[in-house]
Chains A and B, each alone.
Chain A
Amino acid sequence: METVKNTLDFSDFPRIDLVAAGAVLVFLLIFPLLSHSSFAMATMIQFLMFSLYGMGWNTIGGYGGQVDLGKAQYVGIGAYTTAVMLIRWDIPFWVSMPIGVCFSVAWSFIIGYPLFRLKGHYFAIATIATSLVLKDLFEVWNFVGAARGLEISPIKYRPPDFLRLIFKEDIYYYYILLVFFVVGILYINWFRKSRLGFQLRSIKDNEDVARSLGINVRLAKVKTYAIATGFVSVVGSFHACYIKNIEPEDTMSLSISILIALMAMLGGAGSLWGPIIGAGILIPLKSYLKEWLGATAGLVGIDLVIYALIIMMVSAFEPRGIWGIVEKARRRKRK
């Protein structure tokens, strides 16, 4: 009962936040009905996907302060589980997605226990390393198509196929993802108020204090890491069905890991809205910059330059991102 109440209770946010969130949700609901280009639709789907990646990252990276730069490995595990199962055994998305989550979480436990012996930068570097090693393994593993990757051929299926998540029009993907998005927000809303959420925030503050308050620091981190992993894996599975053509390079590359962390940090690590704000800014920026500057002016890689600038600005001015600035202003106003 209390869990349900905590999940649905947003009353600790000021009214203006809820009005803004409501407006955004209404816009997301009616967006496909407005006239839009297929490019805009693809950008919106990317926005929802990266919001979910960011929400997952935010549990361990934001609330827990453990900067994780290896989330792409779980995008890969989710995507490959779903793709392999669909192609080889015709197992539908709704079955392969939870199996993918199980694989991801199992892998997160295996690497989580040793990884969380490390702190700070060492932890961040180790997460990059595990992710890259896994990517290299996938690149030589013939069962999953090695470096060529896997292709889900839509001709074999009769879209709209809701079981296998094979559609011709993006609007189906969009609405399914929107449901995930809302569920994700509700889950994080529960998480931030749960015992585990408080434990993580205490760990971020001071690990010795956390220990002296009865918190098993390593276990709390590993548990939360698994939650973050679950989020990413679900979206990874979705990614396979949506993109239909996956290879290690674009599902598990370092730039995806960094983009996930970067969005949450830009929007505001450790806040409910942060990852969504971050994705809302960065994803359109990334798509349109690539489209305009990359194609017309030949400035390939300009998006990477902008990421670098953002990282520097966030760490120099406000480590808690855009939401940190908003909260600071509110505190000042109250006094």
Chain B
Amino acid sequence: MPLLQVHNVTKDFGGLRANSNISFSMDKGELVGLIGPNGAGKTTLFNCISGLHQITSGRILFQGEDITELKAYEVARRGLARTFQVYTASGDLNVAENVMVGCFMRTRSRARAKSRAEEILAFLKLQEVSDYLVSELPVAAQKRVTMATALGSDPRMLLLDEVAAGLNPNEIEDIMTSIKHIHNELGITVMLIEHVMELVMNISDRVIVLDSGRKIAEGNPGDIAKDPAVIKAYLGERYVEEHAGNLE
């Protein structure tokens, strides 16, 4: 049985169809990349899966259970965690406390939440900044904090929304290592939205491509890079026509 099944998911915002009839499934232990040009509906799809948006039609199953109608907090408690693209850390929670909020999903005990948070901070090499405010950290560290916070809730599956955006090549290398760690050592199934192609193509078992709300391709990274529909989505119709000969 697949871990996550997405059946014909459609999401409308008024007259705008942000996701149109999207279907795919993921097995336990997979690492899947979700790519597409800006406005393709990737984050909307994450919001639908994680329960922040109620979908217009379709069905979403997690571990065989229908989670379509569940609220975001109920989805999270079933072990499906996510990060957010824009992390607004306006408040007064420091790094360790942020991670503890995640840990409190599984325990009432402050002592247990704290020790679990310390483990996760060490795992993501954040222990040195644990008592800083998130807003005081550089972007790369902020992204790791969002991952650490989500990991605090001890998920089976993790949705990562652009954790490499705005990072320099060294930082991308680091975050790639972290994602691999999460996937291999913690055994967490990962789906990631990413614009940084070297990262997606490098670590994904499989890549799903969205364009204008529709799924236009799905396959292993090598095939996706050569898929005319994908190239068209990214580079435009004319490019494909002019280079039709070279693509084979």
Contacts of B101 in A (CB 8 A): 198-199, 201-202, 210, 213, 215
Chain-A contact segment, one of B11-19, B68-76, B222-230: B68-76
Q: How many residue pairs, one in A and one in B, have C-beta atoms under 8 Å apart?
A: 86
Query: B100, A2: Cβ atoms under 8 Å?
Result: no
Query: B76, A211: Cβ atoms under 8 Å?
Result: yes
**One of B89, B111, B152 near A2 (C-beta < 8 A):** B111
Contact of A195 with B by CB under 8 A: yes
Contact of B92 with A by CB under 8 A: yes
**One of B71, B102, B110 near A211 (C-beta < 8 A):** B71
Min CB–CB distance B2 → chain A (angstroms): 22
Binary contact readout A169-205 vs B (1 if CB under 8 angstroms, 0 otherwise): 0000000000000000000000001110011011011
Contacts of A212 in B (CB 8 A): 50, 52, 72-73, 76, 81-82, 84, 150
Contact of A99 with B by CB under 8 A: no
Name the CB-closest residue of A to B51: A211
Query: B110, A213: Cβ atoms under 8 Å?
Result: no
Contacts of A214 in B (CB 8 A): 73, 76-77, 105, 153
Min CB–CB distance B110 → chain A (angstroms): 5
Contact of A289 with B by CB under 8 A: no
- Chain B: residues with Cβ within 8 Å of the partner, total of 36
Contact of A217 with B by CB under 8 A: yes
Contacts of B238 in A (CB 8 A): none
- Chain A: residues with Cβ within 8 Å of the partner, total of 26
Contact of A281 with B by CB under 8 A: no
Q: Enumerate B96-145 residues with CB–CB distance to A below 8 Å.
A: 97-98, 100-102, 104-105, 107-111, 113, 133
Min CB–CB distance A286 → chain B (angstroms): 28
Contact of A11 with B by CB under 8 A: no
The A interface is mostly helix, strand or loop, or mixed, namely helix
Query: A2, B109: Cβ atoms under 8 Å?
Result: yes
In the complex, A140 Cα to B183 Cα: how many Å?
66
Contact of B246 with A by CB under 8 A: no
Interface centre among B81, B89, B92 (most CB of A within 10 A): B92
Name the CB-closest residue of A to B92: A270
**One of A6, A198, A217, A270 near B100 (C-beta < 8 A):** A198
Query: A193, B110: Cβ atoms under 8 Å?
Result: yes
Query: A2, B93: Cβ atoms under 8 Å?
Result: no
**One of A204, A205, A213, A270 near B76 (C-beta < 8 A):** A213
Query: A213, B153: Cβ atoms under 8 Å?
Result: yes
Given the interface pairs A198-B97, A214-B77, the reply to whether A208 lies near B104 with Cβ below 8 Å is: no
Closest 8 CB pairs of A and B: A205-B91, A214-B105, A211-B72, A214-B76, A202-B101, A195-B104, A214-B77, A216-B73
Q: Could you list 23 examples of A-B contacts with CB < 8 Å?
A: A195-B110, A198-B101, A198-B104, A198-B113, A199-B104, A201-B93, A202-B91, A202-B101, A205-B88, A205-B90, A206-B84, A206-B87, A206-B88, A212-B52, A212-B76, A213-B73, A213-B102, A213-B149, A213-B150, A214-B76, A215-B73, A217-B73, A320-B92
User: Which residues of B approach A to under 8 Å, CB–CB?
Assistant: 50-52, 71-73, 76-77, 81-82, 84, 87-93, 97-98, 100-102, 104-105, 107-111, 113, 133, 149-150, 152-153
